[in-house]
Structure 1
Amino acid sequence: MKNLNAELKTSLAISSPPLITLILRGRWDKTALQVAREIVINTDFEWDNFRRFVDNESLTPLLYRILRNEDWLPENIQTEWRNAYYKNACRNTLLLRELGKVLQSLADVGVDVIVLKGAALAEKVYGDIAARQMVDLDLLIKPEDLAIVRQVVANLGYKLAGVEMQSGFNEEFRNEEIHWKQGLINVVLDLHWKLVSPAYYQRTFLTDWFWETAIKTKISGSPALILGNEAQIVYLSAHLMLHHGGNSLLWFHDIAEAIAFSPTAIDWDLVIKKAQTYNLVLSVQQVLLRIADEWKVEIPGKVRSQLAILKPSWAEVRAYSWQNQIMALRLFDDLAGAKDWLTRLHIAWDTLFPSRAYMQHRYQIPHPLLIPFYYPYRWLRGLRKVSS
């Protein structure tokens, strides 16, 4: 009770994000849920603001899953969140059914696939496909399989989203490609052949270990692979920091959940070793120390001490610091991360002077004769700050 009172006193003085962390911790820590309850019933709590915050963070179905049996959730919120939960259950059921078709079709032609992010976590980690909101289906494939995967998904009715800057640019200089299909729900299929987008990491963050340690499973009755525990932690940490700037509570919760409900012991020495090997010290360090501090997930004290003293390389600091900067600096980052000057020239030319088809599609140019005038516009837009 002493610890409960101390945590309550601290939490009463701060805003809704820490409260939401307490509620999310309720998945594995009932004391945290009790603290959250005391905050709500003992303060003039602003449910409308909190509801909007939860929705913006894509956490509504999960919070309903945690709080559905609690008596302190207002009836109108309970109804709204229940509807969102069951709507998400229907949507995710359709998404996973479609994923099963894709996985089976790829298995039939001998292509191995690792299912990433929400589709891998919803059932295998969360244990409830309705609790984890999903936007798309993310698959890791091997680069040499890209051509056949494109053909298989095209045969299933998927179309490439957008237009490449130049033919072959995606395969050579990007880490992913998005395909989509219309239906009862629109399905977005995100094919990855590398795990993160910065050019430096495309060259250094190799996927061999992730394939070697992947776990065989079935999703919607079809054969699939998911990341092993240690690989999951390293990848999700890198994705959270390099793609979301460390600003997503949903992604933090994914990692906390993966640790809290790990079916087997986590080899923390291996996690630290791989963070160093792949120059992901800052990502893994910041995410895991924050999770241990704020989310109270059990990470051994020895491991926290080791994480605290890790030193990132200069190359990592540079790649990390250029995230979420103006788009022009992101181009310089890509150039710096390229393997040689010929590659740098290729990236620069294709980025500054993409194909006419790309320009017309990207900027919705009403007439082909106007396309040349949009190149300077593109360059000026490059001075905007990149959103996380």
Structure 2
Amino acid sequence: CARTKLSKNNQDKIRKLVDNGLDWDYLLQMGKAHGLAPLLYYHLHRIDYEHRIPQPIIDQLHNIYYSNLARNILLYDESSRVLKSFEEKGIPVVALKGIALAELVYKNVALRPMADVDLLVQKRDLSEITKTLFKLGFEILPQEKRATIKYMNESHFVKRQENLRHLPSLIINIHWDLTAPARFKGTTKINTQQMISRARPGKVAYSNILVMAPEDQILWVIYHATFQHPFIGLLQLCDVAELIKLKENELNWQVLLKTSRNGRIATAAYYFLSSSKKLLGAPIPDWVLKVLTPNLLKRHLLNILLVKSGFLTQCPTHSVPSRYLLQTLMLDKMIDTLSLLWKAVFPPLEWLTVYYDRPRAKKLYLSHLINLLTILLAGTRDFLRVSAKK
């Protein structure tokens, strides 16, 4: 069900699986964890097999689907006002992630969950963008100002829903540099300005906006799923597969390969693309995967953690330490791994005070090192446990 369209063969497979009996509680749990519950409901409804599902399960799936639809309609409605205001002021904006994918790729905003709206802008426009969002009722959280602007290259603007208390606050994330968090600057080299220059005119939320070139859009989803929110579920894999299926005839694989190598994300690209092909039937040429294939040692380590353990299908249940260990292995070069580890051990003191919400103190670095050691031990324990099973 992790796709927008089902072939006749996949429809038959679903019917057979349902008829043979499933652990519906587990399936519902995994569907929610991976962000795929709306797609699960959509396809069961489309093939007219709802009557074969336990009523409490289908009721929950129904509620998830329509709650997601209501939430996304609200997000698109507010986004439309924001984007039209930017357009009136001549501020160029690139749509990122969910807001672009749900409408332009999934073609049904109920199918793609979105927690917030992400927009990419030129840094020179930040002052005008901030003024515009303030006028529209948004605010930036005071405790986030230093941390997000200096170390995350983004600002989070929040709008409270006074008349819709049952719905969460609306959040718009304004990005101006896609290499975030800042600790990845130098270890990965995402060329944000190049991505903006290659973006194409499009229409999202009834507004004129820029949309990333398909090669950049695919790599941005991969980068975000690997280095910003490491391995949180199969939804990002579905994003990649659907993008490739939709843009198959216009994709320039040479551009994608060059960009991934220049950005030092070829390893991450290899595993996301190969998994998209294997699990979701994404039409990716074999020669592309061959060019991206990492060295033997890295392939062995990642196969244990990522492939043999079923990490991608079970990632919501894996610990945060094991995700960060995997994230470190995804860096293309050993020197980048060492650089990342150094930055993790010795970050700027200002960042530590914000992250731990504590004033400057001599013991702050010691507390940070103890925290890192705990994470490292937990991640190593997970790795050894998976290795022992295999």
Coarse TM-score class (shorter-chain normalised)? 0.7 to 0.9
Match of 1:194 among 177, 191, 196: 177
2:195 maps to which residue? 210
2:16 maps to which residue? 38
Match of 1:226 among 201, 211, 214: 211
Match of 1:100 among 54, 58, 80: 80
Match of 1:145 among 125, 141, 159: 125
Distance in 1 (alpha carbons) for counterparts of 2:360 and 2:270 = 46
Does residue 249 of structure 1 match 2:234? yes
Match of 1:58 among 20, 35, 38: 35
Match of 1:269 among 254, 271, 276: 254
Distance in 2 (alpha carbons) for counterparts of 1:382 and 1:178 = 27
Task: Say if 1:114 and 1:227, in contact at 8 Å, map to a contact too.
Answer: yes
1:280 maps to which residue? 265
Tell me by how many angstroms 1:247 deviates: 4.2
Does residue 127 of structure 1 match 2:107? yes
2:375 maps to which residue? 385
Q: Specify the SS of the correspondent of 1:216.
A: strand
Q: How many residues align?
A: 337
| 1:142-181 superposed matches below 5 A | 142-164=122-144, 170-181=148-159
Tell me by how many angstroms 1:24 deviates: 1.8
1:203-262 Cα deviation digits (max 9, x unpaired): 532212211221212222222111111111111111111123334101111111111122
Specify whether residues 233 and 97 from structure 1 end up closer, same or farther in structure 2 by C-alpha distance, changes over 3 A only.
same
Distance in 2 (alpha carbons) for counterparts of 1:352 and 1:245 = 21
Cα RMSD (Å)? 3.5
Specify whether residues 121 and 26 from structure 1 end up closer, same or farther in structure 2 by C-alpha distance, changes over 3 A only.
closer
1:60-91 Cα deviation digits (max 9, x unpaired): 11211222133444152333322322222111
2:69 maps to which residue? 89
Specify whether residues 210 and 309 from structure 1 end up closer, same or farther in structure 2 by C-alpha distance, changes over 3 A only.
same
Which amino acid counterpart does residue 123 of structure 2 have in structure 1? P
Does residue 333 of structure 1 match 2:340? yes
Q: Specify the SS of the correspondent of 2:108.
A: coil
Which amino acid counterpart does residue 209 of structure 2 have in structure 1? A
| 1:268-347 superposed matches below 5 A | 268-308=253-293, 320-321=327-328, 333=340, 336=343
Give the gaps of 5 or more residues in structure 1: 1-22, 325-329, 338-343, 364-369
Task: Say if 2:156 and 2:174, in contact at 8 Å, map to a contact too.
Answer: yes
Distance in 1 (alpha carbons) for counterparts of 2:7 and 2:15 = 13
Distance in 2 (alpha carbons) for counterparts of 1:334 and 1:222 = 42
Specify whether residues 304 and 375 from structure 1 end up closer, same or farther in structure 2 by C-alpha distance, changes over 3 A only.
closer
Distance in 2 (alpha carbons) for counterparts of 1:123 and 1:142 = 24
Tell me by how many angstroms 1:102 deviates: 1.1
Give the gaps of 5 or more residues in structure 2: 299-324, 332-336, 380-390
Distance in 1 (alpha carbons) for counterparts of 2:340 and 2:371 = 17
Shifted more, 64-73 versus 186-195: the winner is 64-73
Q: Specify the SS of the correspondent of 1:225.
A: strand
Distance in 2 (alpha carbons) for counterparts of 1:75 and 1:296 = 29
Shifted more, 155-164 versus 193-202: the winner is 193-202
Distance in 1 (alpha carbons) for counterparts of 2:330 and 2:285 = 30
Specify whether residues 372 and 172 from structure 1 end up closer, same or farther in structure 2 by C-alpha distance, changes over 3 A only.
closer
Q: Specify the SS of the correspondent of 2:180.
A: coil
Using structure 2 for the length normalisation, give the TM-score.
0.75
Which amino acid counterpart does residue 63 of structure 2 have in structure 1? N
Tell me by how many angstroms 1:322 deviates: 7.0
Task: Say if 1:335 and 1:348, in contact at 8 Å, map to a contact too.
Answer: no
Task: Say if 1:178 and 1:188, in contact at 8 Å, map to a contact too.
Answer: yes
Specify whether residues 331 and 87 from structure 1 end up closer, same or farther in structure 2 by C-alpha distance, changes over 3 A only.
farther
